[in-house]
Amino acid sequence: MIDFTMPDFTQAYAEIFVLVMICVILILDQFLSDAKRNITYYLTQLTVVAAAVITFNQDHSVSVISFSGMFINDGMSALLKMSLYVVMIGIFLYSRDYLVKQGLLKGEYYVLGLFGMLGMMIMISSHNFLTIYLGLELLSLSLYALVAFNRNSPTASEAAMKYFVLGAIASGMLLYGMSMLYGANGSLDFTIISNSINEGSASKQIQAFGLVFIIVGLAFKLGAVPFHMWLPDIYHGAPTSVTLYIASAPKIAAFAMVIRLLAETMPGLQTDWQTMLIMLSVLSIGIGNVIAIAQSNLKRMLAYSTISHVGFLLLGILAGNEAGYSAAMFYTITYALTSLGAFGMIILMSRNGFEADRLDDYKGLNQRNPWYAFVMLILMFSMAGVPPTVGFFAKLWVLEAVINIDMTWLALVAVFFSVIGAFYYIRIIKLMYFDKSETDIAIEGSADMRLAISLNGILILALGILPNSLMALCVAAFA
């Protein structure tokens, strides 16, 4: 007997729309000459904006599960998708400048970028091991191809190869862990697994075993120590526009994946995953911050900085309660925005055939252009967690989450390493403000790029002065 109910397609309108548009753009792009490549760009942006409108108009006050338990729409998915769209618009906008400057403006960038976004949307809305894996692979495969996008660059090809091999291992780990849990609980559906774990009928041993593999897979994707090795190489080797992509939007999706898998599916195993996350978090904050000091390449430095931020983000998740998840969500969204701005600055500073990715390229920026130096200053202080930027409130909130569960020692370790971290951020400011510029070449950039990066900086400052509304949204997402 076939038990088939028609899925509620309205829930997935945004995903379906994006998929249709990807196909349209893919075909259309074949018929465009290089001079008209901008049409692809504008269509891409239009797709993201339209998807945002669709998501915004969906009712996200209640959580709806559809497609036979495969797909979920709730407060969290709505907020994360909306943030994802904002970040994606920024990514496409900044990347265009880079692609034009480096002569890489190809339609494939946008198609792959949109495919990645679709993957992330599916991850955010997944309610089944299969959907989450599907979304993750859609994202990962797009990213592998994007990293190798500049096929004439040996470093980029090397980075893509590394990324592919390590990413495949991570996916394998994740899948293996999923299969264990499937074996123990007899289902791929998150609700059923969660109930089964709570009942305690399935073997605890197998579950814990599967959990370890899932955590390893997640840690790989997030870039948490000791599974962080790929991150600096990929950040460094990939074209900056792709680094910008990897460093911002996928963090939001990775956060969703962690929440869906750990917080929603396995709350019953919280004591187990909490301990593992504590180790990952302390190691990431410590090692990320310390090694970042030794970097002379800005992209590499930001890679290690990402690792330390992942550690902070995990602090919120490991708290294992709504307040902690909201804190981690706020951290993720604001970090994605800050990271977007930072890599946007690298793109703004670079010229044809010249990547502004060495720290020394930022010498005397205040002389060359005080405004962009100021924007970069805001971004760096935000990453360091100095008020009045939003980075401070993000840190404040995750620290509150861990102090609330009586792990004050963890907060002390975190703040101690964040002081060490402050050093390499203020070193950038030192270069921009205290040193003399070696060049007086004007900073090139299209008008929309300049406007966007200015807004990006102001947004980081404004959210730091008035964080209330975004915080309220993050709290509501888990209410």
252 contacts: CB under 8 Å, gap ≥ 6: 80, 83, 84, 87, 120, 124, 332, 333, 336
Which pairs with CB-CB distance under 8 Å and at least 24 residues apart come from 417-422? 417/285, 417/286, 417/289, 417/290, 417/308, 418/285, 418/289, 418/308, 418/312, 418/384, 418/385, 420/289, 420/290, 420/293, 421/288, 421/289, 421/292, 421/305, 421/308, 421/383, 421/384, 422/384, 422/385, 422/386
Nearer to another protein, 140 or 284 (CB): 284
Q: Give yes or no for residue 205 binding another protein (CB under 8 A).
A: no
Q: Give yes or no for residue 297 binding another protein (CB under 8 A).
A: no
CA nearest to 378, candidates 308, 313, 428: 428
C-alpha–C-alpha distance, residues 351 and 357, integer Å = 11
Residues 427-446: x where in contact with another protein by CB under 8 A, - otherwise, as a string? x-xx--xx------------
Of the candidate spans 23-31, 94-102, 340-348, 467-475, the one that interacts with another protein by CB under 8 A turns out to be 467-475
Which of the residues 339 through 368 are near another protein (CB under 8 A)?
366
Question: Using the rule CB under 8 A, which residue among 42, 56, 354, 416 binds another protein?
Answer: 416
Nearer to another protein, 462 or 475 (CB): 475
Q: Give yes or no for residue 226 binding another protein (CB under 8 A).
A: no
Nearer to another protein, 72 or 373 (CB): 373
Q: Give yes or no for residue 418 binding another protein (CB under 8 A).
A: yes
Token representation of residue 142: 């797009």
Nearer to another protein, 83 or 196 (CB): 83
Q: Give yes or no for residue 471 binding another protein (CB under 8 A).
A: yes
Q: Give yes or no for residue 64 binding another protein (CB under 8 A).
A: no
Number of chain positions touching another protein (CB under 8 A) = 35
Q: Give yes or no for residue 229 binding another protein (CB under 8 A).
A: no
Nearer to another protein, 199 or 360 (CB): 360
Rounded to a whole number of angstroms, the minimum distance from the CB of residue 442 to another protein is 19
Nearer to another protein, 325 or 381 (CB): 381
Q: Give yes or no for residue 467 binding another protein (CB under 8 A).
A: yes
In contact, 76 and 259? CB cutoff 8 Å: yes
Question: Using the rule CB under 8 A, which residue among 16, 169, 423, 437 binds another protein?
Answer: 423
In contact, 56 and 82? CB cutoff 8 Å: yes
Residues 376-415: x where in contact with another protein by CB under 8 A, - otherwise, as a string? -x---x----xxx---xx--x--xx--xx---x--xx--x
- Amino acid, res. 405: I
CA 5: distance to chain centroid? 35
Q: Is the dihedral of CA 168, 170, 173, 179 positive or negative?
A: negative
Q: Give yes or no for residue 475 binding another protein (CB under 8 A).
A: yes
Which pairs with CB-CB distance under 8 Å and at least 24 residues apart come from 403-409? 404/319, 404/321, 404/323, 404/324, 405/319, 405/320, 405/321, 405/324, 407/278
Could you list the residues that contact another protein (CB under 8 A)? 366, 370, 374, 377, 381, 386-388, 392-393, 396, 399-400, 403-404, 408, 411-412, 415-416, 418-419, 422-423, 426-427, 429-430, 433-434, 467-468, 471-472, 475
